[in-house]
Structure 1
Amino acid sequence: MNNNDILAYGPWENDEVNIIFDNALVENDEKTKIYIKDIWSEYCKKRVKYYDSKLLRLSSWNKEDEILELYTGITYYSHYIGTRDPVFKERCLTGIRANPIGMTIIPITSDRNIVITKRSGKMEQNPNKLYFCGGYAEPKFDEKNSINLMNEALREVNEELGANEFLYFNFIGLAYDPVYCHPELFSTAVVNVTKEQIISTWSNAKDRDESEFLLFLSLDDVCNHGFNKFNIEATWSYRVGVELFTTKVVNKISDYYNNKSEPFE
């Protein structure tokens, strides 16, 4: 990980991250479209299951005072697969990357244990490596016709770990993944289950097969370099998540435990 990978440090409350949405698709030139189509075709040939899902694209961002502004649009998974190679810009000089917003969530159980996953060897991205929890943001709208990325984070945690409620939530940073070439928004969340309970909910989770097993780190061990005690290769997202899990972030989480409030709506 290069420190330049991190674009902005938090933390931010959910209402301090503003999503400005434009549903116009970014169009590549014909040569680039053919290149993307060929890459996607080869990708599909190697898989029994694939789905060209609609994703939330980051066009630009701005941080002003305590507010993070994300200017977003729509892209598709096929466009991402076709443009994620680090050398894409060398092969398509005028090409535009899909840049879907990835989301990494650092989950913490209600009894103060950080949940770490070892990704399954069957995963296409980062097999057998340390991670937390996450995926790509999908543009779903609420009754105000806006996108709530906290809900997207909860969806990922529910699908991968089986927890269905956040007791505490904060965004902690924005970074750019140079390996799979897309922006990633990091957050941390206290979930409504204990360490023992999450082992059970994980075993029945929808996307349980994405991780081989769970590891746990007491929140109290973070200051003692606890994130580095696992002798397993880490994903870029894990390393950046650790970097963003600053003393300021830890103190805010500790304040929550000391003054527990109602679950987030």
Structure 2
Amino acid sequence: MGGLTLVTQQGGERFESLDKAYTDYTRGNYAKSYEIFDYYAKNNNLHAVLATGYFLFMGYGVEQDYVKAKSYLDRAGKSGFARAFYLLGLLEKNKAKTQQFSLVAERLLNKAADMGDPVATNALANQYYQRGDLNKAISWNEKAIQLGSRAAKRNQQVISSGSNTKVISVPSANNDALAQLRKSSAEGNAQASYELATRYHKGVGVNVNFGEAIRLYRVAAGQGSDAARKILPVLLSKQSSTGGINSMWMQQTSNMIAMPPVILADKENKG
């Protein structure tokens, strides 16, 4: 990890390295990971600035705070981190409480993609695909593949065929991250519950399970998720002939749901 192996003094004692912060993150120990990243961010380490902004945006190990998150991500973006602009785009979408990216959010994604961020580029391909603009979807998908996006490669056949019957795939969460999401959901974290619901709805990192998706959307709504409260009436507006879940409708509506946030790579690089 090169220059990220840093150990410094705090109150006369050695403070953990950024390597430890990344390890804690991958193991789902978000509170400890945030503490380390935040310390280095305050000491002007730009990788830590980006990570701290991400944690504040997601509410991982710290209370979710879009204002503070934006401050850190703006700073990281000005320092040349393409991923910061992608996260700022997600932040704008979440603030607007919409399923699609707004013009402001889309401009941020375009900026990240132009700087060579494969995640943002793949997200744009998916966005245009969901809108039915296949020419742009194919173009961005090809660019994402060139940038090394494995998710884009998996999506290529679906996008190129113009079929809207298959679920677009994104990088899946690892088992530790999913376990942490479930733990956070059980502890009352609305965003964690909503992310789990979207994963079961779309089959991202887990097998599709519409019943579990509906249950988790209801949990998230009860915990205060505006996005869950907005989508639930839509999902329940069409039921099967027996009054149960309409699988065809759930499949169709999965294209309305934004992709779950991409988990931060443990070796974040500029551009």
Query: TM-score normalized by structure 2?
Result: 0.27
**More helix per residue:** 2
- In proportion to residue count, which structure has more strand? 1
Looking at both structures, which has the greater relative contact order when contacts are Cα pairs under 8 Å and sequence separation is at least 6? 1
Q: Report the TM-score, using the length of structure 1 for normalisation.
A: 0.27
